[in-house]
């Protein structure tokens, strides 16, 4: 029997990288590193991105074009590019703190085009496992990030994440820092819980989980509206992500998300939001729009705790 048009479309999509992963990496490529003005926050991004996005970001890094483009992106995308950059900086900082606290290996879940293992000096010799679909990793394999990085191909809907990690040499007895960035908003609650089951089972005491999550308010624009208009804006936002093939299925209040983490044996030690990140890394620039995505930092409790 010939495949249906829907099956054909799904099969084609399965061979493409996530559109949001492409956009996030492009924003990183075009942003300056606050610690090194004039230099890219992610100097490797244009090399791992699919053509022509990678070529375009490399060309648009030219100094004469950079600031006008950044301003256009900020306003045209209502601050989404700034949000991604701030989220990146917050997680980079949390990774360094986790390594200082004793974590000795890294796992990046749904890694997308993340290049931290290649661009952060603190991770230069830290064993790292990047977990994602084959479609995205096909591009990542073009750029060697170092012998300490292993790409673990996983279809989260079908494969055994724990088995794949262990087969790739992951050591569950070693304190680990887990990065789970920009993923949970697209997962139904059951999928988030299932992944936490695996992560928790593989985490030695004092491991750290750096996980972002989004709350139902979505953005400060909706906050300014009332009643039906705010709800209509949220519906439009949901439809936009659905049109990209990545619907928002996992928006969750902070207290609920913290309770889920606690149930899995994690103690939240910090929970920050975009305004906090902005005050720290962009104090001279007011955000165009506040997106209600937060970063929870949690430590794995010992069994006796």
* pLDDT in the model for residue 304: 63
Looking at residue 157, what is its pLDDT?
Answer: 77
Per-residue pLDDT, 7: 33
pLDDT confidence of residue 197: 97
Taking the domains of the chain in order of start, what are their residue ranges? 78-300
Considering just the CA atoms, what is the radius of gyration of the chain in Å? 19
Beta bridge partners of 179: 108, 210
The pLDDT of residue 248: 67
Residues in contact with 115: Cβ distance below 8 Å, sequence separation at least 6, in sequence order: 25, 42, 44, 45, 48, 143, 145
Q: What is the mean pLDDT of each run of 10 residues along the chain (305 residues)?
A: 33 63 90 84 92 86 65 70 92 98 98 95 97 90 91 90 97 98 92 96 98 79 46 40 53 96 98 94 82 95 75
Q: Which CATH architecture has domain 78-300?
A: 3-Layer(aba) Sandwich (3.40)
d(CA 19, CA 116): 19
Q: Tell me how far apart the alpha carbons of residues 34 and 75 are, in angstroms, rounded to a whole number.
A: 20
């Amino acid at each position: 029997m010939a495949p249906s048009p829907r099956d054909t479309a799904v099969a084609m999509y399965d061979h493409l990288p996530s559109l949001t992963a492409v956009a996030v990496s492009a924003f990183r490529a075009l942003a300056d590193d606050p610690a090194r003005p004039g230099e890219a926050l992610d100097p490797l991004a244009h090399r791992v991105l699919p053509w022509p996005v990678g070529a375009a970001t490399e060309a648009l890094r030219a100094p004469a074009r950079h600031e006008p483009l950044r301003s256009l992106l900020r306003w045209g995308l209502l601050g989404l590019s700034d949000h991604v950059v701030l989220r990146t900086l917050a997680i980079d900082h949390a990774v360094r703190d986790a390594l200082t606290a004793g974590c000795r290996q890294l796992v990046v879940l749904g890694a997308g085009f993340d290049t931290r293992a290649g661009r952060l000096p603190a991770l230069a010799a830290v064993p790292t496992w990047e977990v994602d679909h084959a479609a995205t990793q096909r591009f990542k394999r073009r750029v060697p990030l170092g012998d300490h990085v292993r790409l673990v191909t996983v279809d989260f809907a079908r494969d055994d994440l724990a088995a794949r990690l262990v087969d790739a040499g992951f050591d569950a007895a070693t304190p680990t820092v887990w990065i789970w960035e920009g993923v949970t908003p697209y997962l139904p609650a059951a999928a988030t819980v299932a992944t936490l089951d695996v992560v928790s089972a593989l985490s030695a005491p004092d491991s750290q989980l750096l996980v972002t999550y989004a709350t139902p308010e979505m953005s400060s624009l909706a906050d300014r509206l009332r009643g039906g208009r705010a709800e209509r804006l949220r519906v439009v936002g949901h439809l936009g992500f659905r049109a990209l093939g990545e619907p928002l299925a996992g928006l969750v209040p902070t207290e609920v998300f913290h309770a889920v983490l606690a149930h899995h044996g994690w103690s939240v030690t910090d929970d920050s939001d975009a305004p906090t990140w902005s005050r720290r890394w962009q104090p001279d620039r007011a955000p165009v729009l506040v997106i209600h995505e937060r970063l929870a930092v949690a430590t794995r409790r010992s069994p006796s705790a």
